[in-house]
Amino acid sequence: MPLEWKHGTDAVDWDALSALYRAAPLGEKSPQLLQTVFANSMFKCFVYDGARLVAAGRVLADGADCAYVCDIAVLPDHQGTGLGRQVVQHLVDAARGHRKILLYAVPGKEPFYRRFGFLRMKTAMAIFENQEAQLARGYLSED
């Protein structure tokens, strides 16, 4: 059975999406948080294998200047199949026309995103809710 791609949030099972993020593993994201952030994202996709949600991603964008690709998640049993690449390509294509498309990658995964044309930014900075945890995970540097 071919994978089914959906772009609206009407039929999303938010508990299943939350479980997908835990399994991917991209951390704990509550169903309520996910419902809010996906509703506020200009572009989104949900990929189903039958009735099972196997991948998702979104782009937070303003429609002209800046687009931020984020929350790309693929179930472990679908990782390594090219599905993550397809999700990222789909979202990057949707965001084309913005002056800049940004993302931040899990440390060590930067080569994956280079295939789409992303380059490292020298001046990117961030404030996270839990700075210490992100320092420990390698997302931030104090130098």
pLDDT, tens only, 109-119: 899 999 999 99
CB atoms inside a 10 Å sphere around CB 60: 19
Report the distance separating Cα 133 and Cα 12, nearest Å.
Answer: 30
What is this structure's pTM? 0.92
Q: What is the mean pLDDT of residues 80-87?
A: 97
pLDDT tens column, 14-42: 999 999 999 999 889 999 999 999 999 99
Rounded distance between C-alpha atoms, residue 46 and residue 4, angstroms: 8
> Which residues on adjacent β-strands are paired with residue 48?
4, 53
Nearest residue to 56 (alpha-carbon basis) of 116, 3, 110, 107: 3
CA distance to 129, 130, 141, per residue, from 136 (Å): 14, 10, 9
Q: What is the mean pLDDT of residues 79-84?
A: 96
